[in-house]
Amino acid sequence: MKRKILTILGWLLGLGALIGGAQLLFSNPLKAIYFISFGIMIFPPISSLISKASYAKWIKLIVGLLFFGSIITQVYLEQKPSPEKEMDSIKRSNVNITKQIARDYCRKNKKCASSLDELFKSGATGPYESFRVEDYFYRSIDDGKDCVISTILSTKEVYSELCIGENLEYIKYLKYPNTK
């Protein structure tokens, strides 16, 4: 009885894995290899055919290596940062560097700069990895007592920072930097 249930499960899961792998073959080859190798291991007709082969151990070893190799490669590729994530990290870093520069400018001059041009013309600079002025929004708020710096990330999320940020009334500018 137990053997019969395992055989039925082997047929269902094996056939499903083989069909799923065939469907993914051109859209996601790595997942296709995972499903096909899994299907080969558990689909009863293929499994018994491999067992009868003269090099059965080598075939099983190769299929097993393909199976585990595809899992490990998939996990690695999912953890590897994409170019969009790297650019978002650079933009966040640039906002924080600009925030520090603007904070120093605001405290030194007792008023925040009215624009990024004014801020950078004062000689202030930072260790930017990659900086394009058009990627950032700067605005002086509350008659120059504070400022907000923001950028748009690859997810279309607005990332904003207040230069000084001591007055909780200005928190609204973090989510909506363009509000009046």
Q: Does the structure show a pLDDT above 90 at 23?
A: yes
Residue 180 has pLDDT above 60, yes or no: no
| Cα 160 from Cα 174, distance rounded (Å) | 5
Distance of alpha carbon 67 from alpha carbon 38, whole angstroms: 6
Contacts of 22 (CB under 8 A, 6+ apart): 32, 36
pTM, two decimal places: 0.54
pLDDT tens sequence across 118-142: 888 888 777 777 777 788 888 888 7
Q: Residues 82-117, buried b or exposed e (16+ Cβ, 10 A)?
A: eeeeebbebbebbbebbbebbbebbeeeeebbeebe
Confidence grade of residue 22 (pLDDT, cut at 50, 70, 90): very high
**Which residues lie across from 92 on neighbouring strands?**
none
pLDDT at 19: 93
Position 71 scores a pLDDT of 87
Average per-residue pLDDT for the chain: 84
In this prediction, what percent of the chain has a pLDDT beyond 90?
10
Output the pLDDT for position 58.
Answer: 92
Helices (H) and strands (E) in the chain, counts: 7, 3
pLDDT band at 9, cuts 50/70/90? Answer: confident
| Of 173, 83, 177, residue with least CA distance to 136 | 177
CA angle 154, 84, 150 (to 5 degrees): 40
